[in-house]
């Protein structure tokens, strides 16, 4: 597992934010298109059949597959960097780091200017604690 210092994780934020936004936008667009296709299927079912523009439905299904792949690709890029995507709906990410010889997770959410929180592997998002005082300005690797 790749680990980061606080400084390394924060230096990656512009790149990670771009990938995260790409994944989130693709996910939202895919969900909207999926809902549209499900509504069409429901209307066909309820009406007992209807005239459908097959070419349009095929185009939308292809677009849906492309959006899903775009989101997956962005998530895979973040994963390859070593960043853990925890919740794509709200833009929640974790960066594994060392603190006192233990692996913890530096926690960042889209919209936050900096990484301000960390939590243990067990406590999760609800166990977030401020970075100040534990990590200082040198990053977690300096505290081992």
Render pLDDT for 15-58 as a digit per residue (tens, 0 to 9): 999 999 999 999 999 999 999 999 888 877 777 767 777 888 89
77 contacts 17 by C-beta, under 8 angstroms: no
Half-sphere exposure for 86 (CA within 13 Å, toward CB): 17
DSSP state of 1: -
Residue 30: per-residue pLDDT: 97
Reported pTM: 0.83
**Whole-number Å distance between alpha carbons of 105 and 46:** 49
Residue with tokens 């007992």: 48
H helices, E strands: number in the chain: 2, 5
93 contacts 86 by C-beta, under 8 angstroms: yes
pLDDT digits (tens, 9 = 90+) for 95-143: 999 998 999 999 999 999 999 999 999 998 888 999 987 775 544 443 3
């Amino acid at each position: 597992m790749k680990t980061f210092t606080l400084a390394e994780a924060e230096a990656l934020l512009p790149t990670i934010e771009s990938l995260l936004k790409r994944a989130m936008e693709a996910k939202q667009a895919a969900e909207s298109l999926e809902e549209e296709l499900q509504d069409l299927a429901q209307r066909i079912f309820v009406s007992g059949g209807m005239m459908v523009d097959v070419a349009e439905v095929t185009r939308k299904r292809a677009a849906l597959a492309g959006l899903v792949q775009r989101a997956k690709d962005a998530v895979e890029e973040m994963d390859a960097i070593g960043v853990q995507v925890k919740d794509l709906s709200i833009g929640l990410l974790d960066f594994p780091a060392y603190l006192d010889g233990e692996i913890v997770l530096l926690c960042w959410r889209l919209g936050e200017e900096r990484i301000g929180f960390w939590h243990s592997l067990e406590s999760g998002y609800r166990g977030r604690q401020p970075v100040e005082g534990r990590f200082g300005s040198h990053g977690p690797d300096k505290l081992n």
